[in-house]
Each structure stands twice: as C-alpha cells, then as structure tokens.
C-alpha cells in the first residue's frame, strides 16, 4: 500500500492492512461456502471447511460427486465464479471513487480506495489461481470432469488430471528458481512454495487414488480377523486389567454382551484412569466407548471405503458385524495396507505375465 498510496502515515496503512485481511478471510470463506452450497443442493454431506495459507478446502463427500462429471464440474466451478463476482462487486465502487474529485487530505477516501483495490485484486487472484488445472485446486477437478466426460473412466481421468497437476507444479518451482536467481528472492520463494504445495497435493491425491483403486475389490469379510478377543460389559476394571490387558498386551478390546452383540470398546487408557480403590467396583460398561462412536461395517463393504472412514475419524480399527449387530471380525489399518500390498504385487505379476506372452 505505501507503494500504491504513498504518504498516508502508519495508522492509515495499518487500517488498510487489517481491513484487507478481513476481506481476504471473508472472500476465501465465501469461495468455499459456494462449493458447499452446491454440494448440499445435490444432497452431499459437507463435513467441514478448512482455511489455510493458500486458501481453503471444503470437505465434501467426494466419491459421490466426482464420479458424476456434471456434479463435479458445477461444484468445482462455482468457487472461482464466486470469487470473480466478489471482485466485480468490489470493483464497482472503486471505479466510482476513482471518478470522484477529492482533495488529497481526505484520507478516508484513499483508505477506501486501497481496501477496494486490494479486495478486487485478491479475489481475481483467488479465482484465477483456483482455475489452475492441478489437484487439489478447483481447476484440477474441472479438468477431471472434462476427462471423465470424454473417456468415461474415473480412475484414468483422475490419474491424467493428477499428472497434469504434477507437471504444472514443477513448472512453478522451475520459475521460482529462475526468479530467485534473477534478483527477486521473496517472489521466487513464494513461487517455489506454491509449486511445492501443488506438487504435494497432486502426488498425495494420485497415491490415494491408486490405493483406493487397488482396494476397491477387497471385501472386509476376506481380510478381517475372526479370532477376536472381546470382554463382557459386566466385568470389573480390576479383572479387565489382570485377565486381559496384562495377559494379551493389547491397547483395547471390543465389549460385547452374552449374545456377542457389540456394545462398545474399552481402552487401556480408560481402564487405568480409574483409581486403584475403585477398580473392583467399576465395570467395563461404565468406562467403555459406546458403539455409536466406533466404525462398524458389514463384511461386504470394500476396504477403500473403510480406509477413508478410518482416516477421517482417525481410528485404527473397524469392527465388522453381521446384520443383527453381532461382532464377527476386526480389521485394522495394518490389515488393509497388507491387503493392498499383496494385491499390488499380484497385479504386477499379472501385468508382467501378460507382457511376456
């Protein structure tokens, strides 16, 4: 601001900076809310909106929307369009103020011009930046929706879009190095940081998609551990520690009733939180995590869906129950990753065999 609007004084620049920061925050929030509103219109769940240094992200049920190219396109494109609309709304009073003849001493007019100019510019940048065809930006999703419409193959479209994003990220980093060594260190570092951000996002998305593709044919019933050690809800904490935690050295146990219906899970931490003089009177049902807070699935669910749920809820295991709610197995994240590794090796072997024929 001192370069564009000189000789205003420190207080004026602080006011412009604070208001500009608020406008930036609101602009990013409105950008993400636009994604969320369109997703909600399609009946999708919006879990949260996360804001960070490069903007924000709406946590939407992706699998339900991204496989329909029309839905994904509309959800993705509405964000940049919202930013451009905000830029236009802020640009209109800016143009009016530029036409007004005022004396240089009216600082408030100059401050208003500076804030409107910043708001217009930053929304144009938000909209333009998000149209770059690279995951996790909106442009990457728009590109995937176009590829999906063309190729009719979700996995292939995702891989192509992610690889395009990776190539673009390397372009940003290369440009950043050039800018750094030609004299503009700060601008170059920002370009390098943006390139790293795009590369990290695209690489992560590509790896996630490949893993999801591998696990899509794996059923929980085929990989679950059926030899589950469970505890009854009416045993005391003292007995739980002595007969279970000290014997089996596990960090938790599923809790069931006499008919093997899953009731919850008890952890070593929760058990040890009970004081020594109360452990012979407090029962497992009093300290267990109820089943409503656990991940419970039937044996026909696929491992890729399970892994998404485990990552989202930050849980290390899934309880597999039949239709009546009886516990029949347990699947850990290690089980899923082992299944993915084995399936990947199998697919490599099949591919190698096919190439040799």
24-to-54, 92, 110, 138, 262 alpha-carbon distances in Å: 11, 18, 19, 18, 48
Residues 106 and 158 occupy one common structural domain: no
Given this model, what pLDDT does residue 229 score?
Answer: 93
- Which of 169, 185, 214 terminates a domain? The answer is 214
- pLDDT tens string 277-297: 999 999 999 999 999 999 999
Do 88 and 196 lie in one domain? The reply is no
Residue 47 lies in a domain: yes
pLDDT reported for residue 55: 67
Q: Which of 131, 161, 180 is the last residue of a domain?
A: 131
Are residue 192 and residue 83 in the same domain, yes or no?
A: no
- My answer on whether 1 and 118 are in the same domain is yes
Other C-beta atoms closer than 10 Å to the C-beta of 338 total: 12
> What pLDDT is attached to residue 103?
53
Q: What integer pLDDT is reported at residue 41 of this predicted model?
A: 87
pLDDT of residue 5: 79
Question: 201 and 318: one domain?
Answer: no
Residues 99 and 62 occupy one common structural domain: yes
The answer to whether residues 297 and 186 belong to one domain is no
What pLDDT is recorded for position 253?
Answer: 95
Cite the beta strand spans of the chain per DSSP E.
Answer: 46-52, 55-60, 231-232, 252-256, 262-267, 289-290, 296-297, 317-321, 327-332
Could you tell me if 3 and 124 lie in one domain?
yes
Beta bridge partners of 60: 46
Q: Residue 61's pLDDT is what?
A: 66
**Are 43 and 17 part of one and the same domain?**
yes
Query: What is the C-alpha separation between 238 and 259, in angstroms, rounded?
Result: 23
Does residue 196 lie within any of the structural domains?
A: yes
Exposure string over 266-275, b if 16+ CB within 10 A, otherwise e: bbbebbeebe
Q: Which residue has the tokens 């993915």?
A: 340
Instruction: Kindly state whether residues 182 and 88 are assigned to the same domain.
Output: no
- According to DSSP, the residues that pair with 57 across neighbouring strands are 50
CA gap 209, 205 in Å, rounded: 6
Task: Report if residue 348 sits inside a domain.
Answer: no
Are residue 114 and residue 79 in the same domain, yes or no? yes
Angle CA(82)–CA(87)–CA(91) in degrees, nearest 5? 150
Backbone phi and psi for residue 156, each to the nearest 5 degrees, phi listed first: -65, -40
Structural contact between residues 254 and 230, judged by C-beta atoms closer than 8 angstroms = yes
351 in any annotated domain: no
Query: Could you tell me if residue 138 is inside a domain?
Result: no
Residues 6+ apart with CB under 8 A from 137: 129, 130, 131, 165, 198, 201
Angle (CA) 159-165-169 rounded to 5° is 145
* Count: domains in the chain: 3
Which CATH number covers residue 226? 3.10.580.10
Alpha-carbon torsion, ordered 180, 181, 184, 185, to 10 deg: 40
Q: Give every residue of the chain whose pLDDT is below 70, as ranges.
A: 53-55, 59, 61-67, 100-105, 357
What residues make up the domain containing 4?
1-131
Residue 352: both structure tokens together: 């190698």
Cβ 345 vs Cβ 247: under 8 Å: no
Residue 321 makes CB contacts below 8 A (sequence gap 6+) with 262, 296, 297, 298, 327, 328
Position 79 in a domain:
yes
pLDDT for 246 equals 93
> Does 148 reside within a domain?
no
pTM of structure: 0.68
* Domain presence at residue 291: yes
Please choose, from the candidates 322, 230, 329, the residue with its C-alpha nearest in 3D space to the C-alpha of residue 284: 230
Helix, strand or coil for residue 281? coil
Give the DSSP letter string of 63-124. HHHHTSHHHHHHHHHHHHHHHHHHHHHHHHHHHHHHHS---TT-HHHHHHHHHHHHHHHHHH
Task: List CB contacts of 131: < 8 A, sequence separation 6 or more.
Answer: 80, 137, 138, 139, 142
Longest dimension (CA), the chain: 86
Listed residues 163, 179, 214: the one ending a domain? 214
Query: Do 197 and 224 reside in the same domain of the chain?
Result: no
């Amino acid at each position: 601001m001192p370069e564009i609007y000189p000789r205003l004084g420190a207080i004026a620049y602080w006011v412009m900076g604070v208001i500009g920061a608020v406008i930036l925050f609101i602009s990013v929030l409105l950008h993400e809310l636009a994604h969320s509103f369109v997703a909600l219109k399609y009946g999708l769940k919006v879990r949260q909106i996360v804001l960070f240094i490069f903007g924000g992200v709406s946590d939407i049920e992706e699998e339900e929307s991204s496989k329909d190219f029309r839905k994904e396109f509309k959800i993705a494109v509405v964000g940049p369009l919202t930013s451009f609309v905000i830029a236009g709304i802020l640009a209109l009073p800016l143009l009016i103020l530029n036409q007004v003849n005022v004396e240089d001493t009216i600082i408030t007019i100059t401050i208003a011009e500076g804030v409107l100019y910043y708001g217009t510019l930053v929304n144009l940048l938000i909209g333009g930046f998000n149209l770059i065809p690279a995951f996790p930006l909106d442009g990457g999703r728009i590109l995937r929706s176009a590829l999906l419409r063309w190729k009719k193959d979700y996995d292939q479209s995702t891989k192509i879009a992610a690889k395009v994003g990776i190539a673009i990220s390397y372009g940003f980093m290369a440009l950043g190095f050039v800018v750094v060594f030609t004299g503009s260190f700060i601008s170059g570092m920002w370009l390098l940081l943006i390139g790293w951000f795009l590369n990290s996002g695209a690489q992560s998305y590509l790896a996630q998609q490949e893993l999801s593709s591998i696990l899509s044919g794996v059923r929980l019933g085929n990989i679950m551990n059926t030899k589950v050690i469970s505890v009854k809800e009416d045993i005391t904490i003292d007995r739980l520690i002595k007969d279970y935690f000290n014997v089996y050295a596990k960090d938790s146990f599923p809790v069931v009733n006499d008919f093997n219906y899953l009731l919850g899970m008890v952890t070593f931490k929760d058990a040890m939180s009970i004081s020594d003089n109360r452990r012979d009177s407090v029962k497992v049902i009093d300290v267990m995590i109820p089943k409503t807070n656990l991940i419970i699935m039937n044996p026909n669910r696929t491992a890729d869906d399970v892994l998404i749920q485990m990552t989202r809820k930050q849980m290390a295991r899934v309880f597999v129950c039949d239709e009546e709610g009886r516990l029949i197995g347990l699947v850990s994240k290690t089980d899923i990753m082992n299944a993915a590794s084995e399936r990947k090796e199998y697919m490599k072997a099949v591919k190698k065999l096919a190439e040799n024929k």
